[in-house]
Structure 1
Amino acid sequence: MMLTAEISLYPNNENFIPPIDSFIARLNQHGDVQVQTFPTATIVMGEYDRVMDILKVVMKAHREEFGMGVFVAKFIPGYEAL
C-alpha cells in the first residue's frame, strides 16, 4: 500500500535552518521514496512500510544531532500525492 506523509519540522533552536536542511537531506538520501519539499512542509511518498522505516531512522538521527524538535505530520494511506 502506498503512503503519503506530509511532515513539518519545528526545531527548538534559534538557528532553525540547519536542522531543517539536514532533515530534508537525510530524507533525500533514500531513492526508493519520492520526496518533495515545499516552504512549510515536506511530502514523502512510497510503500507504507518503507516510508515509516525511513521516518523512524531520520527522526531519530535528527534528535541525536540537534536535540528536541517538534514534528507535525499527516499520514494518508492509499493516496499518491506526487
Structure 2
Amino acid sequence: MQVMVELSLYPLVNEYIPPIQTFIDRLNSYSELSVSTSSTSTQVTGEYAEVMKVLGEEMQRTHEEVGQAIFVAKFLNFDAMQARKSS
C-alpha cells in the first residue's frame, strides 16, 4: 500500500529556515521516496512502511538537533495502481 504524507515543519527557533531546509534535504536523500516541496508543505509519497520508518527517524533527528519543533501532517493511503486507473 502506498501513502502520501503532507508535512509542515515549524521549528520554534529564531533561525527557522535552516532546520526546515535540512529536513527537506534529508528526505530528498531517500531514493525510494517521492518528495515534492511547495512554499508551505512537503509531500512525501512511497510504500507505507518505508515512509513511516523514514519520517519517524527524520522527525526524531530534527527534534534532537533543533529542540522544540512542531510537525503538522496529513496522511492519505492509496493503491498506486487504482490511482493510475482513475486518472
Task: Identify whether the pair has TM-score above 0.5, normalized to the shorter chain.
Answer: yes
Residue pairs, 1:52-63, within 5 angstroms: 52-63=52-63
CA distance in 2, matches of 1:26, 1:32: 13
Secondary structure of residue in 2 paired with 1:31? coil
Alignment-mate amino acid for residue 36 of structure 1: S
Calculate the aligned-residue CA RMSD, in Å: 1.4
Alignment-mate amino acid for residue 72 of structure 2: V
CA distance in 1, matches of 2:79, 2:36: 15
Alignment-mate amino acid for residue 45 of structure 1: T
The number of residue pairs the alignment matches comes to 81
Q: Which runs of 5+ in 2 are unaligned?
A: none
Aligned match of 1:35: 35
Q: TM-score, normalised by structure 1?
A: 0.94
- Contact kept? 1:4, 1:79, Cα under 8 Å: no
Following superposition, the deviation at residue 20 of structure 1 comes to 0.2
Following superposition, the deviation at residue 79 of structure 1 comes to 6.1
- Contact kept? 1:2, 1:78, Cα under 8 Å: yes
CA distance in 2, matches of 1:15, 1:35: 24
Q: Which runs of 5+ in 1 are unaligned?
A: none
CA distance in 1, matches of 2:71, 2:79: 21
Q: TM-score, normalised by structure 2?
A: 0.88
> Which segments of structure 1 move beyond 3 Å, counting only runs of 4 or more?
none
Following superposition, the deviation at residue 64 of structure 1 comes to 1.1
Structure with more of its chain in helix, by fraction: 2
Deviation sequence 1:10-46 (CA, Å, 0-9, x none) = 1101111011001101101100010010000000000
Alignment-mate amino acid for residue 49 of structure 1: A
